[in-house]
Structure 1
Amino acid sequence: MISFDNRLKSLKDRRQGSRERALIENNLSIFDSIDVRTKERYEELSESAPIKYAIGAMAAVDCRSTQISIDEGERVATTLLNMLSTSGISAEKEIQGSVALDIHIEGHSDVDMLVLKSDIVTVQNPKIDATQYSTPKDNRPMVEIIKELRQQSEVKLTSRYYQANVDCTGNKSIAISGGSLKRKVDIVPACWYHSHDYQLTGEKHHKGVNIYHKGEHKLIGNQPFLHIKRVNDKDLLYSGNLKKVIRLMKNLIADMPDYKKRIAKSLTSYDVTAIGYDMGEQLTCPSYLSLALVEKLRAHLSLLVDLAALRNLLEVPDGSRKVFDSEDKVEALKILHREVTDLATSIYKSLNPYSLDSYNSNQLLQKQIFI
């Protein structure tokens, strides 16, 4: 069985940084015996380690840490936009990814910032209303225009953040870390894509993006704002329970031993989000019955493991692709299912230490936790 005492320590370090890091940030000696990190509410529960872990793993990271990540991403992107403008390149910025959705699991999370050409777009043909669009001044193929945006971004960021590590080897993003930065920031050069839906509605969530892939010299379509809207809408519908199960799965994967994690990480953040999104009405439960989400997730994963037909229908929230498009992901699903099952079983055993039953789902469905 899993040692949830050890996993609680990993969870704490991930959410707030290590004790040693906290001491250094507060100008204290690493030899001091104190722990200056804030005690979170899940840590103060008079419950077993498995229950504390489950509640903590479902909780959002401290909003102050999240805001620092957002602010750093905005700061770096704004600096880049100003530098690009001096070279005659018009661009704008947008945040995307787990931090934007508040489903990140680390206090010192990386933040993804799209940097998009603002004076030219790609449009889905046939245009709904051709009068909305004028002939662009730049007649190059869009892939060449965004390649230039990527190249100029690399030059500008390397020059500006010379004390930081500016990693330009990534195919989709430029990663900046260290130096004066409080967080790692990923800059993703791209252009807007006006789909038929966007041309009809003008709604931001229908606005797509085409991201430049450096290695293959091509543009890859994505719909980050539709993804964000659909996840946020469903999470609101189920009183925050969707994001709770997403964070739970992501934390379980992060805390797996390496031999399991190597396989489990075949499931991307989008994939894990899709699994939670697919739970639908199973996400219904009051906040004081949060442990019921562990059992409901276990049951849902069990169905996906056992029923290939159901598994093969599952799509990411924006509907752009199937989740289980490789056997590696099916193996990852099985490992995740076993981890959630171990968590559920550990919670049951902590509630019923003398029971002869190996597991009874009703105990998790009915256990009240007030936090």
Structure 2
Amino acid sequence: MIDFDKRLQSLKDRRQGSRETALFESLGSIHAGVDVRKSEAFETLNESTGIKYTIGAMAAVEEKSTLVSINEGTRVANSLIKSLLNHGESVTQKVQGSVALNIHIEGHSDVDMLIITTNTVNVELPTVNVNGYLPASDPRALIDIIKDVRKKSEIILPINFPMAEIDCKGSKSIALSGGSLKRKVDIVPAIWFDTRKYQQSGQEHDRGIKIYDKENHVFLLNYPFTHIKLVNDRDSKYAGNLKCVIRLMKNLIADMPDYKKRIAKRLSSYDLAAIGYHMGENLSLPTYMRLGLVEKIRAHLALLWEIKAYRDNLHVPDGSRKIFDDENKVAALEILTNEFTDLAKSIFQELKPFNSFYDSSAILNKAVFA
């Protein structure tokens, strides 16, 4: 049986920070044993601890905390952009990743900020409109432009944020934390990649990004805004259930013992979003029946684990690669599948303590009202 009391404490600490941190940050609350953190909706449910944990693990982090993450990322990016402009580089900024999609599970989440060149772009050929693009104003090769942006950023950021800890060793990003920063911020230099689809539509979600890999001096193509659009659209179609599924998978991995977590984390947040995305109509449950998503995920993961042909043909939402493009991810899938089996059985035992055999209908038919 899962220790849901321990899980609830871990979930609370992830979402709101530890009680000690909250006490330290709250000047008016210095009494020993006081927990100044506010109660969240899942904590007040008139349900068992397993159900409280599961519903809480599906819930979005408090909007105020998410806004702090976005604002801190924007503050760092805007400061860098202003300095880069003074050093001859024209760039803009965009948020990507879990915070942008609101599928992060920590109140104090890191935020990824793309720093994108604006004076030249990479265009997919043949162009849709031969007269649609003017010659680049910068004569340097694209790879050299973004290399210079990276090098200048590594010089500028320690000057602009002298009290922060700045790690420039990352191949794709520069990490900032501490000092005046309320959140860890990753700066990711990149260029636009204007796909033929984007040239026709003019919609940003059809536009690609090429991230600069400093270590190998190459570009890495991805489509973060396509991914965001597709996940948001499917989540809206199913009344927010897709993001609930993604957050629940991420929280279960976060609460695993380290020996399991090391393997399970081979499935990235991007991979987990893709796994949930392919649940399709299994996401179709009323909001008050969301506990049933536990069984729906369990069955979906079991199917992925058992049927290699099905698993091997699943792609991430934007179609850019297969989800299971590395055998190490299959080992992670096995652990995650077992974890959801344990979760489902543990909740079932709370609901039906005198039943010896697991019956999925107990979870699928259980309504939970906030």
2:28 pairs with 1:22? no
Could you say which residue in structure 2 is the equivalent of 1:63?
Answer: 63
- Three-state SS of the structure 1 residue aligned to 2:118 is strand
Q: How far apart, in 2, do the equivalents of 1:34 and 1:250 lie? A: 29
Q: How far apart, in 2, do the equivalents of 1:29 and 1:196 lie? A: 58
% identical aligned pairs: 57
Equivalent residue runs for 1:23-172 within 5 Å: 23-27=23-27, 32-172=32-172
Report how far residue 295 of structure 1 moved.
Answer: 0.4
Q: How far apart, in 2, do the equivalents of 1:36 and 1:294 lie? A: 31
Report how far residue 261 of structure 1 moved.
Answer: 0.3
Could you say which residue in structure 2 is the equivalent of 1:317?
Answer: 317
Q: How far apart, in 1, do the equivalents of 2:11 and 2:30 lie? A: 20
Report how far residue 327 of structure 1 moved.
Answer: 1.4
Q: How far apart, in 2, do the equivalents of 1:30 and 1:15 lie? A: 21
Instruction: For 1:18, give the aligned amino acid.
Output: S
Deviations 1:23-50 (A, max 9, x none): 0111257662110001011111122221
Q: How far apart, in 1, do the equivalents of 2:98 and 2:30 lie? A: 32
Unaligned runs of 5+ in 1: none
Unaligned runs of 5+ in 2: none
Deviations 1:164-212 (A, max 9, x none): 0011111111111000001001110001000110011111100111100
Specify whether residues 30 and 333 from structure 1 end up closer, same or farther in structure 2 by C-alpha distance, changes over 3 A only.
farther
CA RMSD of aligned residues (A): 1.0
Q: How far apart, in 2, do the equivalents of 1:67 and 1:345 lie? A: 36
Instruction: For 2:39, give the aligned amino acid.
Output: K
Report how far residue 153 of structure 1 moved.
Answer: 0.9
Range that drifts further, 25-34 or 106-115: 25-34
2:335 pairs with 1:362? no
Q: How far apart, in 1, do the equivalents of 2:229 and 2:255 lie? A: 29
Extract structure 1 runs of 4+ deviating beyond 6 A: none
Q: How far apart, in 2, do the equivalents of 1:23 and 1:171 lie? A: 37
CA contact (8 A) 1:20 1:30 kept: no
Q: How far apart, in 1, do the equivalents of 2:245 and 2:29 lie? A: 38
Report how far residue 139 of structure 1 moved.
Answer: 2.7
Instruction: For 2:34, give the aligned amino acid.
Output: I
CA contact (8 A) 1:146 1:190 kept: yes
Instruction: For 2:365, give the aligned amino acid.
Output: Q
CA contact (8 A) 2:119 2:138 kept: no
- Three-state SS of the structure 1 residue aligned to 2:36 is coil
Range that drifts further, 254-263 or 152-161: 152-161
Q: How far apart, in 2, do the equivalents of 1:289 and 1:133 lie? A: 51
Report how far residue 140 of structure 1 moved.
Answer: 2.4
Report how far residue 2 of structure 1 moved.
Answer: 2.2
Report how far residue 138 of structure 1 moved.
Answer: 2.3
Aligned length: 370
